Amino acid sequence: METHLTTRALIRLSPLDESEDVAAFLQGLVTNDTAGPLPCYAALLSAQGKHLFDFLVWADPAGLLLDCEAALADDLVKRLSMYRLRRKIAIAREAALAVHWSVDAHPGAVPDPRLADLGYRWLAAPGGEPADAAWLAHRLSLGVSEGRGELGDILWLETNAVELNGVSFTKGCYVGQENTARMNWRQKVNRRLVVVPLAASDEARRVAAYPALGLAVDHLRVETLDPAALPTWQRAGVTREA
């Protein structure tokens, strides 16, 4: 069965001392509320509120697990370790577990916290046939962007983070929070990431292309978008800002 997402990796954050609170450590860094229901979608931003890493945060008996891009997992470990300072928290890749995905429900799986139509994810031992191609096609068919190759260093709210449940405006401070909160309060999200047919893509605004699927991800000004051509989940935010 094709379920293994080989392009994803897991990073484990665990306390090395019983006095350490891993959730509180991450809470002060990322865009979403790690004290709320998990898994949740979140990001680590630059001080200017631009995307650096996006991931799903999972609860774990030993702390927390981050479901992230495999190609950037080591970079994310290094970045989080910079913020750790002298706190007794272990931050390392978890090789004994892998991310699995299916369009249909699966025992022990949970709906993707971004959008239920994305399907179901669960954590289990590595193995099985890779599902990366099927996941990519399914995700893009729903108009959902993710990862460094598609989100780049774009402002977090321009990646559709609100609509995809990737930000909390009530949790308190985190890296990049000030600019993110200001954009939301002023409703000044001027551009959006949009999945479009490759033939209709604006090369000057294109951030990723998938010729085999006939699709591209463009970073477009809101006023140029036709809400009727957007996925249902994306329309409300774009209509409000146009």
pLDDT digits (tens, 9 = 90+) for 212-223: 999 999 999 999
Q: What is the pTM of this model?
A: 0.95
Nearest to 176 by CA among 37, 42, 69: 42
Q: What is the pLDDT of residue 176?
A: 96
Quote the strand ranges of 70-160, DSSP E.
89-93, 98-102, 110-111, 120-124, 129-130
Structure confidence by residue, pLDDT tens digits, 9-32: 999 999 999 899 999 999 999 999
Could you tell me the CA-to-CA distances from 177 to 181, 185, 223, 226 in Å, in that order? 6, 12, 25, 30
pLDDT at position 213 is: 98
CA distances from 195 to 5, 7, 43, 215 (A): 21, 20, 20, 7
Q: Which residues contact 186 (CB under 8 A, 6 or more apart)?
A: none
CA distances from 241 to 23, 95, 108, 128, 238 (A): 34, 43, 39, 44, 5
Question: DSSP code of 156?
Answer: G
pLDDT digits 0-9 by tens, 22-63: 999 999 999 999 999 999 999 999 999 999 999 999 999 989
Q: What is the pLDDT of residues 87-142, one digit of tens each?
A: 999 999 999 999 999 999 999 999 999 999 999 999 999 998 999 999 999 999 99
What is the rounded distance in angstroms from the CA atom of residue 43 to the CA atom of residue 134? Answer: 24
- Mean pLDDT along residues 179-207: 93
Pull the structure tokens for residue 229.
């051509």
- What size, in residues, is the chain? 242
Binned at pLDDT 50, 70 and 90, residue 241 comes out as low
| Contact present, 151 and 177 (Cβ < 8 Å) | no
Q: What is the pLDDT of residues 139-192, one digit of tens each?
A: 999 999 999 999 999 999 999 999 999 999 999 999 999 999 998 888 879 999
Burial class (CB in 10 A: 0-12, 13-18, 19+), 114: buried
pLDDT of 124 = 97
